[in-house]
Structure 1
Amino acid sequence: MKYLMRPLNWAVATIFAGAMIVATFFPVQIFADKDWAPPLAMLLVAAGLLLSYLNLQHFARRWSPTTYRRVLWGIGGLIVIAQLAVALSFVDAGRADAFFVRNQAIALAQGLLNWSQYFKIYPNNVNFTLLEAGFLKVAFSLGWQTPWAGLNVLRFIWIDTGLLAGLVLLKHWRNWQPGALSYLLAWGLSVPLYAYGVFAYTDALVLPLMVDVAALLVIVRQKTGWQRWLWSMLSWLVLGLGIVMKSNMIVVWVAVVLILCVAAWQHQWSWRLVGQWLIGSMVVLVLFSGGMNRLAKVNGYQKDANTALPVTSWMAMSLNPKLDGQYNHADFTKVRLAKTAAAKKQTAQTMIKTRVTKMGARGLVVHLARKFRVFFATGDFDSFKLTTQWLQAPRWYIRHQRSWQFWLVLWTQCWYLVWLLGGIVAVLRRRQAALSLELLALATLGLTMFHVGLWEVEARYALPLLPVVLMLGIQGWSTVWLPVLTKKRLALASGVTVVGAVIVSGQLLNLSNQTHLKQTSVTRQGNGSYVLPDTLKIAVGQTQTVHLTTPIASNELELHPASKTGRVTVTIRQAGHLIKRVTGTPKKTTTVNYRQTKAGALTISITNRGPRAVTYHDVKSWYNQQTGQRFTKAQPALQYKIFLNHKRSNLSTLTTVTTLVGLLSLSLMASWWALWRHSIAK
């Protein structure tokens, strides 16, 4: 066993080490993560968090079982409260794929079986749409017209199965104290879990899948008789659901098959039990797949091979060096425009051959390294590019969202580094109950090879690895014991802490002073440009009106006209009072600056005063893009952006920087002193 798994452990350790390098020195500077702290600052903050955690772990080992249990329940309660607060405060409007899924699900829930062309192109999202439609149908039948916050709560409940599964594994690994406390803290302080809890797409569904399956297999082995069959069935259902909702989860099934074969070879599982589990899982997967196909047909969906993108199109996209293997609209369009299924496959295959030949062996290695960077470099797993528009969000977040994102990204990146390093320790210093740990390691290797080596890549595709990284990190750090503190060591540790705090504060203040903020995004409606661009025609003499609510003050409107010529009048009103009226061509009235208005309702009107019709970009939506209220008929929603231009301000303030860095430093120094007092008390 030891020699069989050693190459796997070293492979995963290498992956984690590479992830630490790219996360520290080469973070991906695209989309929302604009403001990265310097590497030295991140390393020092990560070191401070790690040492604080190790100190807490040291004391937690010495708590009585009663005290430890009460602390666990207390932290668990705080996690529930925090998740409820986020679920009820942040409601995503849906963007890109998530918009198409929600839009179609609302139509299906109301008995309308006409499918958007989007699902002919991307049939992989049909199953999740049917699942969401089922929830919505129940909600609508109960009179719940805007159930989005409720779905957030259900999403958090599902995500928290990963929390329960992790606790099961830690108990099995004989690392309950302090492992359970560590996992609760790591879970409750992981920003991506909250971000994906309010993101209405498939990612939250597969987030806990790896640890769920690992824990269920542990339980299956422990049980006998009908209980074993019950838990086996649950493991088949969880894994089958994950695969039919997101096909890349097939790597988890492959990892389970390989690990169970090793378990049988090692006499930890009987070959009969392994065979029963494998047969059962395949039967359930076939039934799931067939059942979802049948359900899709009943709900009016029909596949169109000549419209659907072939799987090779994602492989071709993954080999495009311009965006390091990420989604590329130009590649998508090139394949989509091919008329038949055969032509689409041929186009994709030609792209693959051309790119592989052009890059050569050396170029391909460089490209794969860049894909690895995209996959592993962001500890927030793209949390802040999931959505750009909200049905509901707190004003304090909207007003200071870039500052909030900076601090949250810094936190998640440093937290990520702590657990990656612990994961390296875990796989190289294995303890008891190694097979379930090896399953997590093998699934990590499989998902990495799939997206870095074969498929399109995005940071969010690595999300199922987050609970795995937390679990392995906790398991690794549980093997580390702090040395006894003498007075000399205490003075040295305190001095290093102070010097580190000064360096971090200086670097963060320097970054803050160099980053000037002059504009805040207030609200927007951006759907209608992705995959299937749409426009709204405004006839001569006709007026199109948009009613919206701004959560904070605003003073700039940006429209998205498709027409460049013509003559229109754009009018902005608040509470019946005229705020601004401008007349000109659609191009010249794209941006309208007006006097600053208070938070509240705005009415925007576009009147066509020209000799011919004009068009503006929009989307046909089954729900209000501002409130989430469902419609019984799809309504046009114009694209727009609302901004607040203000005096120049810095990314953060001196008070914020010194307060946050000071709190971390003081907590670390307090733990040093507590450790020293404990050592002399002995």
Structure 2
Amino acid sequence: MLPGFRWDVSTILRLKQSLITLFSIAFASCFLAVLAIGFLYPMIFQHYTGLLPIALSLAMFALIVILFFLAVYRWLVRFTDPTINKISAGIFLIMVLLEVTMIITFHSIIPPIIDGGHTYVEALYLLAHGHASDSIYFKIYPNNIPITLLRYFLYSGFGLAHISNYMLIDRAFCALMLLAGIFLSWKLVGKLFDARTACLFLLIALTCLPLFFYTMYFYTDTVAIIFPIILLYLWYLYSQKGKIRYIVLIGLALGIGYLIRPNLILFLPALAIYMFFVLNWKKVLINLAIIGMLISATNFASQGVERHFGYVQDPSLSMPTYNWILLGFSRDGGYNHHDYQLSRLQPNQTSKKQAEQLEIKKRVKAYGIAGLARLWAIKTARTWGAGAHGYYWYTHLSSHPTKAYQYLFNHKNQLTIFIIQVFYLVNIILLLVSVFRYFRTKQVDLNLLIQICLFGNFIFYVFVWEAEPRYSMLFTPFILLGSVFGFKELVHALNMKKRDDPQGVQIGKRFRLVLAGSLLAAVFLCAYAGFFDYTQAKSPQQSYIVDQRYSVGKKGITVDAGHSITQTFLAYDQYNRVSIGIRDVRGAGTYHATIKNMRTGKVIFSKDFSVTKAKSKVTLKVNHGNSAIGDEEIIKITRIKGSPGSALTFNISGKAYDQRDAYPDGRLIQSDMTSTKKDLQFMIYQTESGAYISSTAYWIMFILPILMLIWYAYVSLSMDGTETDRIRRKRNQVRTSQNGIRIMREEQLRRKDY
């Protein structure tokens, strides 16, 4: 320390203000990069054509959404808080109905043959046997044991009420977690601001479609989605009342949430940093000690529960932390089989860590500065660039892939992703605007805690950890809350400009009307520009009745001189193509394929085909005619001639960590022997030349931004600035004294804690 230098209160305050200023600049820089990448999101999907038109259309629609939010917020000033709360209840009811509709409409979606699917199979095994299976998956990834046990407890509990629709249980629970989190966020926003802002938050949350789509996938992120909000709300209560019980509850919530989703622990360093800005260091250390002890106690208790069900740690199999760091240094920063095998083949934890550390050092050296910068840009795009958060990665397995399912979750979801991206960019823009809150108020509040947590997530997933789109989903509620803070800053800036120039009210009204008219013309121009490409241009369009794309396990199923295969399926619609994945071709052979209706015995298709070299699939062109729809049909393949030893091996959904039934409506049979829960990797679909979307659906899609602009113009005409200010002043008279008392109390607590 320099001679004569003293750490007095004013010096500490100046230091904290400087640190917050530097942090705000860093935060803004990171999410400006996210915003830039978000406008060029098609590059994430390796689509490099038409980037400029897409970026411009995204910007236009994002501006329309922001104007709509401003108009709704301005319109709500007409109503009293009880009336606004009724409007909020209506929006919340829409969310509930949306969840119920999705769960019922897309009930045929089944768990994928990856993480969430493994926990599903294990939960069913626990339900049947009462103890853990012998699957090595939970020895390799023991972090998924708690979510599996939770799933088992849910199934057991509902089983007491004789409810055994496990997909319904999964999705209802995920929906409950999401809706409870949104409700808690609404309460928090109401306490921080007012009923009007809380109502607007619900509207913003309603536009975050991936949160609702993800309820179809029961896994750690969807179950833990409520925990970030619980933690934030508990901290708010602690900051208001100063009671230690809220720190205890934070420790318990973080401990439980950590078991379900370990990366929730990223909230703890964010909270620790934030506490140093608002509390004295002794309270910070005490709070952290309490939280740390409770997390440790929760973790210790969970290990006893795991052992009770027969889960035992195996150091020779479990993946060390370095494995996820190594994955983060792969070509695209994501999971890959090579890095998995590098760790998997090592005999113990020490060898695994040494091999991974050595490989990480080699890659860092090989990348160099330019290579690392490129990798970090890819990881930013992969984790943060697309607002869909990869929800469709986990919903592409359905026993009944309807047309609506195709447009929302599967092959034709491009427009859905575009719409999601518009609202996501709005959230990022408003999140960036929230940075100005500190520079205006010079106060440390929850906005800073939200920013620190999101910044920590950004740093962690871009520079340290494996990068996957799903990883940014857990703290999406913080993005929504941060966007509310940003929206309030935007409203404040617009109101300040109006107050600084009272004569400009009429000019401002004319400007808003011109802006609305210009954007309305731009929307029609955009609609006209895309009309032909989306509604008139002909291209092959597929409608699937079977879409079993998984090829799992080390083995396939072989057709040779002594073996034939049969795959059954349910033909609930017309089809004219059957595509089957090929694993291996041995020798030159001629094979015969037959498709027959099981009920009538009618042969629908019969044809010879030859395969002389390796290729990925064989596609049969079927003239289905007017066959009965809804019957069970079979595909039978036999070898009729070929060179000695010639054989054709097809891909199947076999056994990897476990054996899943990827297509429940069918059976795979080899030489009259049924393979339990196995199916071919096959697709059955109707292909025909047509447009991507109908003209009616296309114009309906453009109704939403048109209605938004009409609403914005209506509010601009019906409510001028003078009326709005008069109503606002009247509404705020009651709140002014209460807010003044609250601010004075918070300031006293801050000064006391410094």
Shared fold by TM > 0.5?
Answer: yes
Per-residue deviation, 1:356: 0.8
> AA paired with 1:208?
I
**Are residues 1:564 and 2:585 paired?**
yes
Per-residue deviation, 1:333: 2.9
Per-residue deviation, 1:627: 4.8
Give the structure, 1 or 2, with the largest relative contact order (CA under 8 Å, sep 6 or more): 1
Matching residue of 1:9: 24
Matching residue of 2:634: 604
Matching residue of 2:189: 170
Contact 2:538 2:689 in 1 (8 A): no
Matching residue of 1:99: 117
Moved more, 454-463 or 512-521: 512-521
CA gap of 1:605–1:391, structure 2 versus 1, over 3 A, is: closer
Q: Secondary structure at the match of 2:541?
A: strand
Per-residue deviation, 1:634: 10
CA gap of 1:396–1:488, structure 2 versus 1, over 3 A, is: closer
Structure 2 counterparts to residues 153-552 of structure 1, below 5 A: 153-173=172-192, 175-223=193-241, 229=245, 231-265=246-280, 271-272=282-283, 274=284, 277-321=287-331, 324-391=332-399, 394-398=402-406, 405-430=413-438, 434-481=444-491, 484-486=505-507, 488-509=510-531, 512=534, 516-529=539-552, 532-535=553-556, 545-549=566-570, 552=573
Per-residue deviation, residues 138-185 of structure 1 (Å, max 9, x unmatched): 344544333212220111111223212312321232x22321111111
Per-residue deviation, residues 273-327 of structure 1 (Å, max 9, x unmatched): x555433322332222223323332322233222233322222221123xx2111
Contact 1:259 1:435 in 2 (8 A): no
CA gap of 1:26–1:155, structure 2 versus 1, over 3 A, is: closer
> AA paired with 1:302?
V
Unaligned runs of 5+ in 1: none
Per-residue deviation, residues 365-419 of structure 1 (Å, max 9, x unmatched): 2321221121211011112222211245655334786686223212211111111
C-alpha separation between the residues in 2 aligned to 1:662 and 1:87?
A: 26
Contact 1:402 1:651 in 2 (8 A): no
Per-residue deviation, 1:437: 1.9
C-alpha separation between the residues in 2 aligned to 1:32 and 1:165?
A: 39
Contact 1:522 1:550 in 2 (8 A): yes
> AA paired with 2:716?
L
Per-residue deviation, 1:255: 1.3
Q: Secondary structure at the match of 1:637?
A: coil
**Equivalenced residues, count:** 666
Contact 2:558 2:649 in 1 (8 A): yes
C-alpha separation between the residues in 2 aligned to 1:139 and 1:103?
A: 17
Q: Secondary structure at the match of 1:519?
A: strand
Structure 2 counterparts to residues 35-74 of structure 1, below 5 A: 38-74=54-90
**Are residues 1:635 and 2:676 paired?**
yes
Q: Secondary structure at the match of 1:370?
A: helix
Matching residue of 2:605: 580
Unaligned runs of 5+ in 2: 1-15, 499-504, 667-673, 724-754
CA gap of 1:377–1:493, structure 2 versus 1, over 3 A, is: same
Contact 1:567 1:609 in 2 (8 A): yes
Moved more, 280-289 or 506-515: 506-515
Per-residue deviation, residues 166-219 of structure 1 (Å, max 9, x unmatched): 12321232x223211111112222111111111122121233332321112112
Q: Secondary structure at the match of 2:542?
A: strand
Aligned residues: percent identity?
Answer: 19
> AA paired with 2:254?
L
Q: Secondary structure at the match of 2:101?
A: helix
**Are residues 1:668 and 2:678 paired?**
no
C-alpha separation between the residues in 2 aligned to 1:40 and 1:220?
A: 45
C-alpha separation between the residues in 1 aligned to 2:506 and 2:578?
A: 61
C-alpha separation between the residues in 1 aligned to 2:209 and 2:285?
A: 40
Contact 2:57 2:526 in 1 (8 A): yes
CA gap of 1:642–1:349, structure 2 versus 1, over 3 A, is: same
> AA paired with 2:289?
I
Give the structure with higher Rg (CA): 2
Per-residue deviation, 1:433: 7.4
C-alpha separation between the residues in 1 aligned to 2:633 and 2:50?
A: 34
C-alpha separation between the residues in 2 aligned to 1:453 and 1:55?
A: 40
C-alpha separation between the residues in 2 aligned to 1:255 and 1:422?
A: 21
C-alpha separation between the residues in 2 aligned to 1:490 and 1:342?
A: 66
The TM-score normalised by the length of structure 1 is: 0.88
C-alpha separation between the residues in 2 aligned to 1:417 and 1:281?
A: 35
CA gap of 1:391–1:425, structure 2 versus 1, over 3 A, is: same
Per-residue deviation, residues 319-363 of structure 1 (Å, max 9, x unmatched): 123xx2111223323433345444433332232122111111232
CA gap of 1:72–1:433, structure 2 versus 1, over 3 A, is: farther
Contact 2:327 2:335 in 1 (8 A): yes
Contact 1:508 1:657 in 2 (8 A): no
CA gap of 1:154–1:451, structure 2 versus 1, over 3 A, is: same
C-alpha separation between the residues in 1 aligned to 2:110 and 2:47?
A: 17
Contact 2:220 2:261 in 1 (8 A): yes
> AA paired with 1:362?
A
CA gap of 1:6–1:534, structure 2 versus 1, over 3 A, is: farther
Equivalent of 1:128 in 137, 147, 157: 147
C-alpha separation between the residues in 2 aligned to 1:510 and 1:542?
A: 51
C-alpha separation between the residues in 1 aligned to 2:224 and 2:90?
A: 27
Q: Secondary structure at the match of 2:719?
A: helix
C-alpha separation between the residues in 2 aligned to 1:681 and 1:478?
A: 19
Per-residue deviation, residues 584-620 of structure 1 (Å, max 9, x unmatched): 6787984333234665344335466689897542334
Per-residue deviation, residues 22-54 of structure 1 (Å, max 9, x unmatched): 000244433999998711111111111111111
The TM-score normalised by the length of structure 2 is: 0.80
C-alpha separation between the residues in 2 aligned to 1:104 and 1:318?
A: 28
CA gap of 1:352–1:390, structure 2 versus 1, over 3 A, is: same
Per-residue deviation, 1:253: 1.5
Contact 1:94 1:389 in 2 (8 A): yes
C-alpha separation between the residues in 1 aligned to 2:719 and 2:630?
A: 57
CA gap of 1:205–1:59, structure 2 versus 1, over 3 A, is: same
Per-residue deviation, 1:539: 9.3
C-alpha separation between the residues in 2 aligned to 1:278 and 1:32?
A: 47
Matching residue of 1:618: 653
Per-residue deviation, residues 518-556 of structure 1 (Å, max 9, x unmatched): 323433334452xx5454578975665544335543232
